[in-house]
Amino acid sequence: MQCFSFIKTLMIIFNLIIFLCGVALLAVGIWVSVDGSSFLKIFGSSSTIMQFVNVGYFLIAAGAVLFVLGFLGCYGAQYESKCALMMFFVILLLIFIAEVAAGVVVLVYSKKSEELLKPVIVSTIKKDYGSQKDITQLWNSTMENLKCCGFNNYTDFEDSPYFKEQHAFPPYCCLDKNNTAMGNCTQEKAQEMHVQGCMKQIVHSIEANSVIVGGVAAGIGALELAAMIVSMYVYCNLE
């Protein structure tokens, strides 16, 4: 009985933390999505902050999931509700299965990912870069942080609104020896500099940090399994 009470208390505390995190993510996500201008005034308008503003809806979705999970787990343990505990277990199980499935897909199709993404992303660059603010900011921050140019290389920006207006490629396609972007990036300069595309840089970054990524994924999976086991333990020991 003492073991049951201890585990029940731990589950309440753990899910209360998850609930509060969900509330915080929801609040920030809604604030960023609805009033991004005031957010930028407070935190500045750097490329990193702009990337954060662009994921406001993702924060809302993640916050909503954590909010529901935290509420169900905390309510189910506190008031010994089998319905709430079962819903908590089912939602967590679905998330865990989705994560495993996503991992399998990534492993199976990792070599084909570039072929699948290339036509979609290149088409978006040619259509929207220089005309759509969000797309332009996202690509600018990506190229600046990864020191890359386009999806494949500078040719992705040919016929884009930016190229038609500026008659040049983005400055990130012309990097000097210090990896500093050069102004007036003409076709001759871009050919000479030969800056790699962002796809190769992203793949290289993932491979370089594969141990960290795998460790984080394994840790999240272990926490989810532990939460499911604890919720079923509490469920089965309720009178």
pLDDT in tens, 153-188: 899 998 899 999 988 899 889 987 777 777 788 888
Q: Which of 65, 93, 109 is the last residue of a domain?
A: 109
Instruction: Decide: helix, strand or coil at residue 143.
Output: helix
**Tokens read off for 10:** 């731990």
pLDDT digits (tens, 9 = 90+) for 47-104: 444 455 556 677 788 888 889 988 998 888 888 888 999 999 999 999 889 888 877 7
With respect to residue 230, please indicate whether it lies within any of the assigned structural domains. no
With respect to residue 91, please indicate whether it lies within any of the assigned structural domains. yes
Write down the pTM of the prediction. 0.60
With respect to residue 233, please indicate whether it lies within any of the assigned structural domains. no
> In terms of domains, do 64 and 129 share one?
no
With respect to residue 139, please indicate whether it lies within any of the assigned structural domains. yes
> In terms of domains, do 82 and 126 share one?
no
With respect to residue 140, please indicate whether it lies within any of the assigned structural domains. yes
Q: Which of 109, 129, 152 is the last residue of a domain?
A: 109
> In terms of domains, do 101 and 10 share one?
yes
> In terms of domains, do 10 and 105 share one?
yes
Name the residue with higher pLDDT: 157 or 46: 157
> In terms of domains, do 82 and 125 share one?
no
User: Are 92 and 45 spatial neighbours (Cβ–Cβ below 8 Å)?
Assistant: no
Nearest to 40 by CA among 137, 136, 121: 137
User: Are 79 and 228 spatial neighbours (Cβ–Cβ below 8 Å)?
Assistant: no
pLDDT digits (tens, 9 = 90+) for 204-232: 776 676 677 677 778 888 888 888 888 88
- In the chain, alpha helices (H): 2-34, 36-43, 47-54, 56-78, 82-109, 113-128, 133-146, 161-166, 187-193, 198-208, 210-236
Q: Which of 58, 88, 109 is the last residue of a domain?
A: 109
Count of structural domains, the chain: 2
Instruction: Decide: helix, strand or coil at residue 169.
Output: strand
With respect to residue 217, please indicate whether it lies within any of the assigned structural domains. no
What integer pLDDT is reported at residue 137 of this predicted model? 87
Domain range spanning residue 55?
2-109
> In terms of domains, do 158 and 79 share one?
no
With respect to residue 84, please indicate whether it lies within any of the assigned structural domains. yes
What integer pLDDT is reported at residue 210 of this predicted model? 67
